Amino acid sequence: MLTVEHLTKRFGGLTAVDDVSFTVEEGDFLGIIGPNGAGKTTLFHLITGFLPTDAGEVWFKGKAITGKKAYQISRLGMTRTFQITKPFGQLDVMENVVVAALQQSPALREARERAEEVLRFVGLGAYLHHSVTHLPIGLKKKLELAKALATRPSLLFLDEVMGGLSPDEVRDLMDVLRKVQETGVTLVMIEHVLQAITELTQTLLVLHHGALLAHGATVDVIRDPEVVDAYLGEVEPDAVH
Ligand SMILES: Nc1ncnc2c1ncn2[C@@H]1O[C@H](COP(=O)(O)OP(=O)(O)OP(=O)(O)O)[C@@H](O)[C@H]1O
């Protein structure tokens, strides 16, 4: 479904993403982990068209998408969430999702139907006309997910959707993500919450200093001594069983 070849991004003297190649199969749930500053978010920006690449190619469903703009890529069925949620404060929950749905369908009625459908799907059915400014973080993260789903992605990139959530909220959002995968959406998730990585993802990719350190089945990668040294040992050794 997605092929990334030799993707590279430099910021001055720093190579933030260094010759990264991998593929994502349809139906997969791929996790991306790595220490802070390893290049994970920059990799998302490059693939989803939010930053130009210095070298490398990206193919999505057999089409070269390198150099295309984010809105063009989103129309092809690849979309993403952002680490920092930035809803439109003057619009309510439903209106925020309608704006996202309109990217895919310019008909307002259809966009409203889609927005309501995804909001109920993620568990925000009771908040349709609430103000977004006072939503607790757990619900803001669900809103961010609903906005992405409103564009009807076949490939969805999630950037630290679990960040800042309580253990109950993490479990709740994990259930929603399982449901998203069941609807046939292929998922790629950057995440520091290891429980989400180990329980949700089938495949795992590890970035270290911008380069690919490991890529394979999550159960194997999570036990790779190099990965434990570079990342896991440093954060939550107890989380790896
Ligand atoms: N626009 C930019 N200009 C200059 N340097 C940048 C820019 N964006 C990212 N960087 C640098 O590139 C490196 C990779 O950053 P990136 O945000 O991709 O890492 P990350 O793995 O997502 O980190 P985190 O887990 O903290 O979110 C870091 O050293 C960062 O400071």
For residues 79-93, average pLDDT? 81
Ligand 1 centroid distance, CA of 107 (Å): 38
Please state the pTM of the whole predicted model: 0.91
Ligand 1 centroid distance, CA of 122 (Å): 30
Full domain range(s) for residue 103: 87-152
Shared domain check, 233 and 180: yes
For residues 29-33, average pLDDT? 97
In this structure, are residues 49 and 73 in contact, taking their beta carbons and an 8 Å threshold? yes
Shared domain check, 195 and 100: no
Taking alpha carbons only, the member of 149, 148, 172, 147 closest to residue 162 is 172
Q: What per-residue confidence (pLDDT) applies to 2?
A: 97
Q: Is residue 49 part of a domain?
A: yes
Ligand 1 centroid distance, CA of 41 (Å): 7
CATH number at residue 234: 3.40.50.300
Taking alpha carbons only, the member of 199, 232, 161, 213 closest to residue 22 is 213
- Cα angle: 187, vertex 193, 197; to 5 degrees: 40
Shared domain check, 225 and 158: yes
Q: Is residue 192 part of a domain?
A: yes
Shared domain check, 40 and 98: no
Q: How many domains are there within the chain? A: 2
* Gap between the Cα atoms of 60 and 67, Å rounded: 13
In this structure, the residue with its CA closest to atom 4 of ligand 1 is: 11
Mean pLDDT across the chain: 92
Question: How do residues 202-228 score in pLDDT, each as one tens digit?
Answer: 999 999 999 999 999 999 999 999 888
Taking alpha carbons only, the member of 80, 119, 76, 78 closest to residue 97 is 119
* Gap between the Cα atoms of 87 and 175, Å rounded: 23
Q: Is residue 228 part of a domain?
A: yes
Shared domain check, 126 and 27: no
Shared domain check, 118 and 47: no
34 lines ligand 1 (CB under 6 A): yes
Ligand 1 centroid distance, CA of 129 (Å): 36
- In which band, very low, low, confident or very high, does the pLDDT at 25 lie, cut at 50, 70 and 90? very high
Shared domain check, 61 and 167: yes
* Gap between the Cα atoms of 166 and 181, Å rounded: 22
User: Which residue out of 11, 188, 205 has the highest number of ligand 1 atoms within 8 Å of its CB and is therefore the one to mutate?
Assistant: 11
